């Protein structure tokens, strides 16, 4: 798995509830690329409970919608908006759970419509919630103009980076 670089991390005014690392009230998700899937490992907190020690369904929906959005950013290299979300709650999630794992992937794309499937698992690996999100994706120009989105990369592979640096030292390779 490779960590995805948040392209808005240092942008002034960026305060996304789902993925801003600086939003104290937010869920502060981070994302990784694992083959065709986008993955997030998230720790529930007591302030996100609905019923006693139970993760609120609205927060679960936020987590699933957010990871679907990151499939659009990373896999389609553009921005977009959720136009429909279907969620199925299969098992309650404790806010005392050590961590949750979310996985999402592109199911299909037709022109500017992307259908993304996402799943949320508890720390025991049990499927708790799943969602299918339909996204209206933007043309590149609109994503750049309205979302300040240029591209979404992963952190460089340390082994590859090390090899490239050694090659650079030995020649004019780079």
Whether residue 166 is predicted with pLDDT greater than 70 in this model: the reply is no
Picking from 28-37, 61-70, 107-116, 152-161, which range would have the lowest pLDDT averaged per residue?
A: 152-161
Distance CA 11, CA 119 (A): 30
> Among 96, 116, 97, 98, which Cα is nearest to 106's?
116
Nearest C-alpha neighbor of 71 from the set 40, 42, 27: 40
Q: Are strands 32-34 and 37-42 parallel, antiparallel or unpaired?
A: antiparallel
37 pLDDT band (50/70/90 cuts)? very high
pTM for the whole structure: 0.87
Q: Is the pLDDT of residue 162 over 60?
A: no
Q: Which two tokens stand for residue 98?
A: 């050590």
At 153, the pLDDT band (50, 70, 90 cuts) reads very high
* DSSP assigned state of 60: H
Task: Determine the average pLDDT of the residues in 22-28.
Answer: 95
The token pair that represents 89 in the structure block? 């709650």
In order of their start, the domains of the chain are: 2-170 (3.10.129.10)
């Amino acid at each position: 798995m490779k960590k995805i670089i948040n392209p808005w991390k240092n942008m002034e005014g960026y305060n996304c509830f789902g993925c801003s690392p600086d939003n104290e009230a937010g869920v502060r998700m981070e994302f990784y690329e694992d083959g065709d899937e986008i993955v997030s490992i998230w720790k529930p907190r007591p302030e996100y409970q609905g019923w006693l020690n139970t993760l609120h369904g609205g927060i679960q929906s936020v987590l699933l919608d957010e990871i679907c959005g990151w499939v659009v950013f990373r896999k389609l290299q553009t921005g977009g908006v959720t136009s429909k979300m279907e969620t199925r709650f299969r098992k309650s999630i404790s806010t005392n759970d050590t961590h949750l794992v979310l996985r999402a992937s592109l199911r299909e794309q037709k022109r500017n419509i992307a259908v993304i499937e996402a799943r949320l698992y508890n720390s025991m690996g049990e499927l708790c919630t799943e969602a299918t999100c339909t996204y209206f994706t933007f043309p590149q120009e609109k994503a750049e103009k309205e979302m300040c989105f240029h591209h979404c990369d992963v952190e460089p592979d340390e082994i590859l980076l090390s090899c490239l640096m050694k090659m650079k030292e030995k020649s004019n390779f780079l």
